[in-house]
Amino acid sequence: MTQSPLAAQIVDTLKHRIGKDERAAHPHDWLAATILTLRNDIIDRWMESTRAAHAAGAKRVYYLSLEFLIGRLLRDALANLGRDSEVRDALEELGIELAAIEAIEPDAALGNGGLGRLAACFMESLASLDLPAYGYGIRYVNGMFRQRIDDGWQVELPETWLAHGNPWEFERRESAYLVGFGGEVVSEDGGRVHWKPAEGLEAMAVDTPVVGWRGRRVNTLRLWTARAFDPIRLDRFNAGDHQGALAGQVAAETLVRVLYPADSTPAGQELRLRQEYFFSSASIQDIVRRHMQYFGDITTLPEKAAIQLNDTHPAVAVAELMRLLVDHHDVAFDEAWDIARATFGYTNHTLLPEALESWPLPLFERLLPRHMQLVYAINAKLLKEARETPGIDDRAITAISLIDEGGERRVRMANLAFAGAHSINGVAALHTELMKKTVFADLHRLYPDRINNKTNGITPRRWLHECNPGLTALIADGIGPAFKDDAAKLSRLAPLADDPSFRERFAAVKRANKVALADHIRAETGLSLDPDALFDVQVKRIHEYKRQLLNLLETVALYDQIRSHPERDWVPRVKLFAGKAAPSYWNAKLIIKLANDIARRINGDPAVQGLLKVAFLPNYNVSLAERIMPAADLSEQISTAGMEASGTGNMKLALNGALTIGTLDGANIEIKDRVGDENIVIFGLTADQVAERARNYHPREMIERCPALAQALSAIASGVFSPDDPGRYAGLVGELYDHDRFFLAADFESYAAAQREVDRRWRDPAGWGAAAIRNVAGMGWFSSDRTIREYARDIWHVA
Residues with active-site annotation: 349, 540-541, 546, 648, 652
Closer CB to ligand PLP, residue 314 or residue 647? 647
Taking CB under 6 A as the binding criterion, the range among 210-218, 236-244, 648-656, 688-696 that sits at the site for ligand PLP is: 648-656
Nearest-10 crossing angle of helices 316-323, 369-387: 100
Closer CB to ligand PLP, residue 13 or residue 619? 619
Burial of 353 (0-12, 13-18, 19+ CB in 10 A): exposed
Taking CB under 6 A as the binding criterion, the range among 150-158, 313-321, 396-404, 616-624 that sits at the site for ligand PLP is: 616-624
Question: Which one of 622, 685, 770, 788 is in contact with ligand PLP (CB under 6 A)?
Answer: 622
Residues 252-281 that bind ligand PLP (CB under 6 A): none
Taking CB under 6 A as the binding criterion, the range among 112-120, 358-366, 595-603, 604-612 that sits at the site for ligand PLP is: 112-120
Q: Which of 111, 378, 372, 137 is nearest to 276 (CA)?
A: 137
At closest approach, how far in Å is the CB of 622 from ligand PLP? 5
For position 217 contacting ligand PLP by CB under 6 A, the verdict is no
At closest approach, how far in Å is the CB of 587 from ligand PLP? 17
How many residues are there in the chain? 799
Q: Which one-letter DSSP state was computed for residue 261?
A: S
Q: Which one-letter DSSP state was computed for residue 783?
A: B
Closer CB to ligand PLP, residue 273 or residue 622? 622
Four-point Cα dihedral 670, 671, 673, 679, nearest 10: -160
Q: Which residues pair with 124 in a beta bridge?
A: none
Number of C-alpha atoms within 13 angstroms, CB side, residue 412? Answer: 22
The Cα 178–Cα 278 span in angstroms is: 9
Q: Which one-letter DSSP state was computed for residue 397?
A: H
The Cα 740–Cα 662 span in angstroms is: 19
For position 649 contacting ligand PLP by CB under 6 A, the verdict is yes
Closer CB to ligand PLP, residue 117 or residue 547? 117
CB count, 10 Å around CB of 21?
A: 11
- The 566-605 site mask, x for binding ligand PLP (CB under 6 A), equals ----------------------------------------
3-class DSSP assignment, residue 303: helix
The Cα 716–Cα 693 span in angstroms is: 26
At closest approach, how far in Å is the CB of 591 from ligand PLP? 15
Count of positions on this chain that bind ligand PLP (CB under 6 A): 14
For position 540 contacting ligand PLP by CB under 6 A, the verdict is yes
- Distances from the Cα of 142 to the Cα of 111, 150, 254, 327, 623, angstroms: 11, 21, 11, 36, 17
Q: Which one-letter DSSP state was computed for residue 618?
A: S
Taking CB under 6 A as the binding criterion, the range among 109-117, 125-133, 547-555, 778-786 that sits at the site for ligand PLP is: 109-117
For position 113 contacting ligand PLP by CB under 6 A, the verdict is yes
At closest approach, how far in Å is the CB of 109 from ligand PLP? 8
Four-point Cα dihedral 518, 521, 526, 532, nearest 10: -20
At closest approach, how far in Å is the CB of 334 from ligand PLP? 41
- The 413-432 site mask, x for binding ligand PLP (CB under 6 A), equals --------------------
For position 648 contacting ligand PLP by CB under 6 A, the verdict is yes
At closest approach, how far in Å is the CB of 463 from ligand PLP? 8
For position 457 contacting ligand PLP by CB under 6 A, the verdict is no
For position 70 contacting ligand PLP by CB under 6 A, the verdict is no
Closer CB to ligand PLP, residue 102 or residue 327? 102
CA terminus-to-terminus distance, the chain: 50
Report the amino acid identity of residue 570. W
Q: Quote the Cα angle for 22-25-31, to 5°.
A: 105
Burial of 82 (0-12, 13-18, 19+ CB in 10 A): exposed
The Cα 131–Cα 160 span in angstroms is: 33
At closest approach, how far in Å is the CB of 617 from ligand PLP? 12
Taking CB under 6 A as the binding criterion, the range among 282-290, 375-383, 615-623, 750-758 that sits at the site for ligand PLP is: 615-623
Q: Quote the Cα angle for 609-611-615, to 5°.
A: 85
Closer CB to ligand PLP, residue 291 or residue 652? 652
3-class DSSP assignment, residue 227: strand
Closer CB to ligand PLP, residue 283 or residue 621? 621
At closest approach, how far in Å is the CB of 637 from ligand PLP? 7
**Contacting positions for ligand PLP (CB under 6 A):** 69, 113-114, 117, 540-541, 620-622, 625, 647-649, 652
